[in-house]
Amino acid sequence: MKETTLSQFADSVASSAPVPGGGSVAAVCGVLSGALSEMVAGLTIGKKKYAEQEKEMNEIKENALRLRNKLIEYIEKDSITYNNVMDAYRLPKSTEEEKAARKRAIEDCSKLAASVPLEVACASYEIFPLAEAVVSKGNSNAVTDGLVSAMLARTAVLSAILNVRINLDSINDEEFVSKYRAKSDEIESKTLSYEKKILEFSPF
């Protein structure tokens, strides 16, 4: 999927096939968020006016690249885990033994399908400090790009969390469900606060 053009990816999302879907799109939003923060940092480096921020902006570029490369991998990984869940539901259930095996497979695949979007949410959340830095200290001519980076990070996190929650409905392990619900609630709350904080830097 990394070699797919934007147009091809959009066609795939628009098709009647269930994947790639919202989970993969959430990861794409994270990738674009990281790319924008990286761009603003790049537009700040080398400018005399921002000489004191040079070191920090270089670090931001490195971290943004790391995060967007990580999130690119999740675009396809999310689709794979969803397909695995669907395959588990298609397992035979004629005998009690088959029913038990099918139930275990659904549980295991659903746990992985909940884990991947939570990882997407966590990776996307890591972009907020980068967006905050480029908005508050970076090239002022590109401040809106930094603000869009923060907005896309929010979309990535909240979209991914929706995918965590829908997969939890198929899981019987109460401890797992409780743990993942708590993590989702926490990162959702932190995301909304962080985005609001960054948007306050907007000059418009």
Task: Specify if 89 maps to a domain.
Answer: yes
Give φ, ψ of 95 to 5 degrees: -115, 165
Q: CATH no. for residue 82?
A: 1.20.120.680
Which amino acid type is present at position 18?
A: P
pLDDT (0 to 100) of residue 2: 73
- How many domains does the chain fold into? 1
Residue 73 has pLDDT above 80, yes or no: yes
Task: Specify if 5 maps to a domain.
Answer: no
Vertex 201 angle, CA 70 and 38, to 5°: 25
pTM across the whole model: 0.93
Of the pLDDT bands very low, low, confident and very high (cuts 50, 70, 90), residue 147 is very high
Taking only the tens place, the pLDDT of each residue in 87-135 is 999 999 999 999 999 999 999 999 999 999 999 999 999 999 999 999 9
Task: Specify if 44 maps to a domain.
Answer: yes
Angstrom distance (rounded) from CA 45 to CA 139: 9
Residue 1 has pLDDT above 90, yes or no: no
Determine the structural domain holding residue 70 and report its residue range: 19-199
Whether residue 125 contacts residue 190, with contact meaning beta carbons closer than 8 Å, is answered with yes
Contacts of 170 (CB under 8 A, 6+ apart): 85, 106, 107, 110
Question: For the purposes of burial, counting CB atoms within 10 Å of the CB of 162, is it exposed (0-12), middle (13-18) or buried (19 or more)?
Answer: middle
